[in-house]
Chains A and B, each alone.
Chain A
Amino acid sequence: MTEPKIALNDLAKAFGDKVVLDGVTLAVEPGESMAIIGGSGTGKSVMLKCILGLIQPDGGTIRIDGEDTTHLRGRARREVQAKFGMLFQGGALFDSLPIWRNVTFGLTRGRAMDSGRMRRLAEENLERVGLGADVLDLRPSELSGGMQKRVSLARAIAPRPQIIFFDEPTTGLDPIMADVINDLIRSLVEGLGVTAVTITHDMTSARKIAHRVAMLYQGRIIWHGPCDRLYDSRNPYVDQFVQGRADGPIQ
């Protein structure tokens, strides 16, 4: 039996009195694309940030390739982070740097080195997300929202991570651009053979990019299953959510 790529066990996190994660247990297999769905404020982002090491969980464990990474710090933490790529919701591009430095930031770790090679690498990765060399020297603020998201995607894949996280990849985009991004994510996941975890509340996107879906509600995973079972899950919470009804068990 192979080790899951990511294994969360009883993950808990509270901010003050507010319990955000209340025992999340979840496994993501290598090469799998998993979508986490759930309403706003159900702890999707917090869960992702715990895995990334940006937030320390209060309890439970996080295993990456079988290695317990829950409380890693310093160099050991950075070694695990080398396996991760992350597409942030707003793109989170560094607005003080030109596009090509943004794309190669994960390789140079912010140092000014090997400019020629880095520009070529930036160009290569931008090509993968459908952008030309003409954007290399622009600043992030000169690009549209959809283009920023693509550059951010190029930045996430440039260090060739094994696991990529997508935080609401289609939020704020028009339906056509959203579909372009969905296609890109799917082809990148297949083309690069990475494991993907996407948090979203866009059902079209979830169905398009994920093999498996898990639903987070009140800090717990209340349902998970293959993507094609999403619309006959026989779970009243999932039903209400995927059909977008105001009345139901979720208030």
Chain B
Amino acid sequence: MSGFATSPPVRLLARIGALAIGLLAALGRVAMFAGRTIISIFAPPYYPARYLEQMAQIGWFSLPVVGLTAIFTGAALAQQIYTGGSRFNAQSTVPAIVVFGMVRELGPVLVGLMVAGRVASAMAAEIGTMRVTEQLDAMTTLRTDPFQYLIAPRLVAAMISLPLMVMIANAIGLFGGYLLSVEKLGFNAANYLNVTRQYLEWDDIVTSEVKAGVFGFFIALMGCYHGYHTRGGAAGVGRATTDAVVSAFILILFSNLLLTVLAFG
């Protein structure tokens, strides 16, 4: 009997099974964490100051890095489309494709990734350190729910900040493409802007903003979840930080694919 249970194909199946169960259990834990956070948004006491502080942390202080990313990417995109397009005489599509590329994909995804790198890691490190130094326990014994005081403000602030930042990043990205096209590639400025306006559609903007909101949700959720469940001192905080960023990246890229297929497929 023991020979059967330890034979390689059975062991492989057992491994796959264990992996699947582990994945489902993790999914369940994350879902319960999200549910508890959402409930705690609506339950008193309220901490308006914490919400504003997080908006500043997530949104305002991320603007420089997001702006730089957007302008460089917009300009690089314009150059690539121009070079690629010139092979079949389609250089004139530059403004149109810059609009599509920036607003539909690059704006939200790049902002999501940049903010995930900056903010999900910081959240996991801060909350994780509070966990290992017993500050979370201390907070609970002082009758304050860490979900209300720490986690809900981060989730809400991220879901509000990300759409605002994506709006700004889209505008800066389009401007980057415009700048390169007009100053280097010799496009007519008025013509370029005209085409840009023509191809900039309301539906694309809405999709862009929805994506941003979803990404913000995942960034804060992963940062807080991994921080909250940190175990084992400084090394544990390091692990939580890495896990938060990696899982936020994967969730952003995967949900982006789903949303893109849903909206444009």
Residue A27 at the chain B interface, CB threshold 8 Å? no
Per the bound structure, the CA–CA distance linking A82 and B138 in Å amounts to 13
Instruction: Given A90-B133, A94-B135, verify A54-B141 contact (CB < 8 Å).
Output: yes
Given A110-B47, A111-B47, A112-B49, is A92 in contact with B134 using a C-beta cutoff of 8 Å?
yes
Report yes or no: A88 in contact with B142, Cβ–Cβ below 8 A.
Answer: no
> How far, in angstroms, from A152 to B143 measured CA to CA in the complex?
16
By secondary structure, the A interface counts as loop
> 8 Å CB contacts to A: which residues of B145-193?
149
A-B CB contacts (within 8 Å), total count: 59
CB 8 Å contact bits of B33-68 with A (1 = contact, 0 = none)? 000000000000101011000000000000000000
Q: Tell me the complex Cα distance, A96–B150, Å.
A: 12
Contact B47 A86 (CB under 8 A): no
Identify which of residues 109-139 in chain B touch chain A, using a CB-to-CB cut-off of 8 Å: 126, 130, 133-135, 137-139
A155 touches B142 (CB 8 A): yes
Most B Cβ at <10 Å: residue of A53, A82, A86, A110: A110
Q: Is A30 an interface residue (CB 8 A)?
A: no
Known: A88-B134, A89-B134. A94 touches B139 (CB 8 A): yes
Q: How many residues of A contact B (CB 8 A)?
A: 26
* B138 in complex: contacting residue of A78, A92, A112, CB < 8 Å: A92
Q: Is B140 an interface residue (CB 8 A)?
A: yes
Tell me how far the C-beta of A199 lies from the nearest C-beta in chain B, rounded to whole angstroms: 14
User: Which parts of A223-240 form the interface with B (CB within 8 Å)?
Assistant: none
Contacts A92-B135, A110-B149 given: A86-B143 contact, CB under 8 Å?
no
Total contacting residues, chain B, CB less than 8 A: 18
Q: How far is the CA of A215 from the CA of B142 in the complex (A)?
A: 28
B194 on the interface (CB 8 Å rule)? no
The answer to whether B141 touches A52, judged by C-beta atoms less than 8 angstroms apart, is yes
Nearest chain-A residue to B145 (Cβ)?
Answer: A78
Within 8 A of B (CB), among A105-142: 105-106, 109-112
CA distance A54 to B137 in the complex (A): 7
A155-174 CB contact bits vs B (8 Å, 1 = yes)? Answer: 10001000000000000000
Residues of A within 8 A of B (CB): 49, 52-54, 78, 81-82, 84-86, 88-90, 92-96, 105-106, 109-112, 155, 159
5 A–B contacts from the bound complex (CB under 8 Å): A90-B133, A90-B134, A105-B139, A105-B144, A109-B45
